[in-house]
Structures are given as structure tokens and as C-alpha cells.
Amino acid sequence: MAPPPDRPPDAPPPACPCGHDNLAAELAGQRPLLERAAGGQREAFAQLFDAQVDGIYRYLLAWTGDPTDAARLTAEVFTGAFSWLTVTHDADGEVAAWLTAMARDAVAQRRGPAGTPGAADPVAVVAQLSDPKRDVVVLRLLCGHSLDHTAHLSGFTRRAVQELQLSACRAIWELTSGTTDPPPQPPAAEQFEHHLTQAAPDPRRPHATLAGPLAGAPTLRRKPTLKRNDGDATDAEPSDKPTLKRKP
């Protein structure tokens, strides 16, 4: 009996646009800085700050929708992180993951009741989701992280991220369109992820129960439009992110 043909190797997962998803390289580069920062060296922590501040600011901006709040919370997260390191001397773990967890806690402690979203505003509807769904949508779609990096930063398994993002996008579609679709059947989460990773997902091609969620996903992937104090709209660029004061 002839042996079965060799299975072709799986294609490597796509790289995350943030450029920080090579965890082995991240840990190798972070370890010396973490050890020095845990010993109280501000310059070592400043290097970690420079590498991570954009991602944490954008994460908080996607949660709050307000540059001033996001900047304040980002500063609080990094201040707390430095204090925690110098008190506990704990330099274990990957920096982006525990900074994201601290940012998530900061939002949870200060979040007020969610407002009522506009009927056709998918980004505003994100605020109405349960925390696991909202966290995955913020990381995966609003911040643009890859599937694997979203799993790392959120603490959910890869499978759970797929299920949560589909469930979240279904909820957003139903809230913005006023329609209720029947629950999709397995393997809908994998099919949704496959179409989501296409450069221009076509909501007409997959099964009908995925058409609505896919129709709203591109809107979530655009930069959130924020209101300035003068009432004009501006793109969510990190121009208001905090800076770390270095000692001369």
C-alpha cells in the first residue's frame, strides 16, 4: 500500500501591521530593558515606552473615542507600569500583553454608562458590546492587529478570537440594520475569518448569514473619526499621545 502523500506545509500566518508580533524577538529585545527598568533605570523604561506607546494609545483611543481621555489614560498606564516594575522587580512576560491588560483595567475602572449609538454608526455600536467582544473588535478591527497577535494581546485563544469577532460583528450588524439573522452554523467563524483577511471582502459571496457581519467589517477597519473641540472631524492619529519626560 502506497504511503499517503506528504501534506504541504501550512503557510505562515500573516505578519501583524503593528510590527511587534514576533514574540521571540520581542522578548529577547525587551528582557534586558525590563531588568534595567525594574532596577529603577528610567532611560531603559523610556526605550520601552517609545516602542509601545503608539499601540497602547491607539488601543485606548479606540475604547474611549476621545484623544484627551486616551492620552490621560496612556500616561496613567505607563506611570503605573514603571511604579509596578520598580516595586515588584518582576520582569517576566511580554511587555505589550501586560500593558494592554493594564490599559483594559484602566478603561474598566473609569468607564461610565455607554451612550446610545447612531442607528448607522458601527463604530459607536462597539461601545454597546460585552467586554470580551468589544476587546476583540478593538484589537482586531479598530487597531488592525492580526488574528494571532490579537489572541496574544487579549489572552483569548485563536479559536475564541474567531468566535468573538464573528459574534461581535453579527451584533453590530443587527443593531445598525435592525435585522436579526439566524445563528450561523459551524464552521462559520473560520469562514468569516477567511473572508475578513481578503483585501476587499465581498459580502455577497459567503453564506447569507455572514453577509451582514462582513458588510460592516470594513467600516470598523477604517480609522475612527473623532470630534475636535471646534466640532470639526479629524482622523485618529496619535498626535495627542503623551511623551515621557527624560532626565537631562
In this structure, the answer to whether residues 162 and 140 fall within a common structural domain is yes
Domain count along the chain:
2
- Greater pLDDT, 203 or 96: 96
Residue 42 domain boundaries:
33-112
In this structure, the answer to whether residues 87 and 141 fall within a common structural domain is no
Confidence of residue 46 (pLDDT cuts 50, 70, 90): very high
Closest to 213 (Cα-Cα) out of 171, 160, 150, 159: 171
- Does residue 233 have a pLDDT over 80? no
Note whether residue 156 is domain-resident: yes
In this structure, the answer to whether residues 164 and 132 fall within a common structural domain is yes
Long-range contacts of 63-70 (CB under 8 A, 24+ apart): 63/103, 63/107, 63/111, 63/134, 63/138, 64/107, 65/123, 65/124, 65/127, 65/224, 65/226, 66/226, 67/226, 67/236, 67/239, 67/240, 68/240, 70/240, 70/241
- Does residue 162 have a pLDDT over 80? yes
In this structure, the answer to whether residues 132 and 208 fall within a common structural domain is yes
In this structure, the answer to whether residues 137 and 207 fall within a common structural domain is yes
Confidence of residue 241 (pLDDT cuts 50, 70, 90): low
In this structure, the answer to whether residues 87 and 106 fall within a common structural domain is yes
Note whether residue 174 is domain-resident: yes
- Greater pLDDT, 92 or 65: 65
Confidence of residue 234 (pLDDT cuts 50, 70, 90): very low
In this structure, the answer to whether residues 206 and 140 fall within a common structural domain is yes
- Does residue 6 have a pLDDT over 60? no
In this structure, the answer to whether residues 127 and 104 fall within a common structural domain is no
Q: What is the pTM of this model?
A: 0.74
In this structure, the answer to whether residues 81 and 127 fall within a common structural domain is no
In this structure, the answer to whether residues 139 and 168 fall within a common structural domain is yes
Note whether residue 243 is domain-resident: no
